[in-house]
Homo-oligomer: A and B are copies of this chain.
Amino acid sequence: MAKTGQPTINDVARIAGVSKKTVSRVINRSPLLSDDMRKRVEDVIAELGYIPNPQARALALRRNFLIGLVHDNPNAQTVMNVQQGMLEALHGTEFEMVVRPVDRGSATMLEDLRHFLERQRLFGVLLMPPVSENDQVAQTCTEIGCRYVRMGSAHLDSDEHMVASNDREAVRAATEYLIACGHKRIGLIAGPHGFRSARERRLGFEEALKAAKINFPRSLVADGNYTFESGLIAAERLLDLMPRPTAIFSCNDEMAAGVIHAARARGLDVPRDLSIIGFDDTPIAPHIWPPLTTVRWPIASMARSAALKLIAGDEEPVAEPSMFRSTLIRRASVAPPAET
């Protein structure tokens, strides 16, 4: 027994009366092993409570049993949901999760990430949006030989490397709901330029209007950057319009909360004078006033699937989906437009 108190592979081998390599074969499920030999070793392993040392394995295999979460996402709740999903998948396995925030915009981001991956020899990484949209990052992972799965709002990669939500379709459905309620002047608060999610959501919005043959002047779209303040400012511009839009689709909930503030500030009643739909279904969405109609994407499920793809053996490709459906959650922030 080693001085650390933990039994090692040598202890198992000695007590079982076999070689280290045989024990190693048992651990790694080598197919070429007689059953009685396997049984004998497994008994000793159970008896000793032996667990392979991760550090030694990492050194020998040149690969760590760590899954990285690489993100530059500003939304705390989103990141936590992803972590929760990952952890679910990793629970009970030999893998642990290490979190690595990166600075999109930093000129050395790619280089930093490469060094990180090379040094830590991660088993794989889960790339969260928006950094997941950067093809060079994926390219770097491939070069280094680090497995990766990207989360995103559209298929940016092959199935094994991707878990995507159908933002465009979901927003299209949400907008159709607004139209079905009778709205014809609908404003859009867009997401930040360069975010794929912003693009997809906007496209879904425009598709719905076009299909309904509703006119959509440029003046009805206001830029936002996913923050409360940007939603507030964008809403003020939209609400200054004559005629005023009777509904607004906001590309995320946080901006939608800003819209509600702006509406309240000028004495507008939501949803009587203005209907609002957001995106994300953040925990506060049902708690703000009025409770917010929004689009919920199965973020934890996506992260869980992504992690399962990451740790899946190469032999049997996992049956995890690569496309996930978002759903419209109808609450109280939408109503038919008031009679004019």
CB-based contact A120/B96 at 8 Å = yes
A289 to B62, CA, bound (A): 55
List chain B residues, Cβ under 8 A from A4.
Answer: 62
Is A51 part of the binding interface, using a Cβ–Cβ cutoff of 8 Å? yes
A55 to B59, CA, bound (A): 5
CB-based contact B59/A87 at 8 Å = no
CB-based contact A59/B56 at 8 Å = yes
Given contacts A55-B58, A76-B80, A80-B76, contact A66 B289 (CB under 8 A): no
Distance in Å: Cβ of A62 to nearest Cβ of chain B? 6
A80-110 vs B, Cβ < 8 Å mask (1 yes, 0 no): 1101100100000000111111000000000
List chain B residues, Cβ under 8 A from A96.
Answer: 98, 100, 120
| Size bracket of the A interface | 35 or more
List chain B residues, Cβ under 8 A from A58.
Answer: 55, 58-59
List chain B residues, Cβ under 8 A from A213.
Answer: none
Of the A-B pairs whose beta carbons lie under 8 Å apart in the complex, a sample of 11, sorted by A's number, is A4-B62, A53-B59, A54-B119, A55-B62, A58-B58, A58-B59, A76-B77, A96-B120, A99-B99, A258-B287, A289-B289
List chain B residues, Cβ under 8 A from A288.
Answer: 288
Is A15 part of the binding interface, using a Cβ–Cβ cutoff of 8 Å? no
A288 to B121, CA, bound (A): 45
List chain B residues, Cβ under 8 A from A81.
Answer: 76
A69's closest neighbor in chain B, by CB?
Answer: B99
CB-based contact A264/B289 at 8 Å = yes
Closest 3 CB pairs of A and B: A76-B80, A55-B58, A55-B59
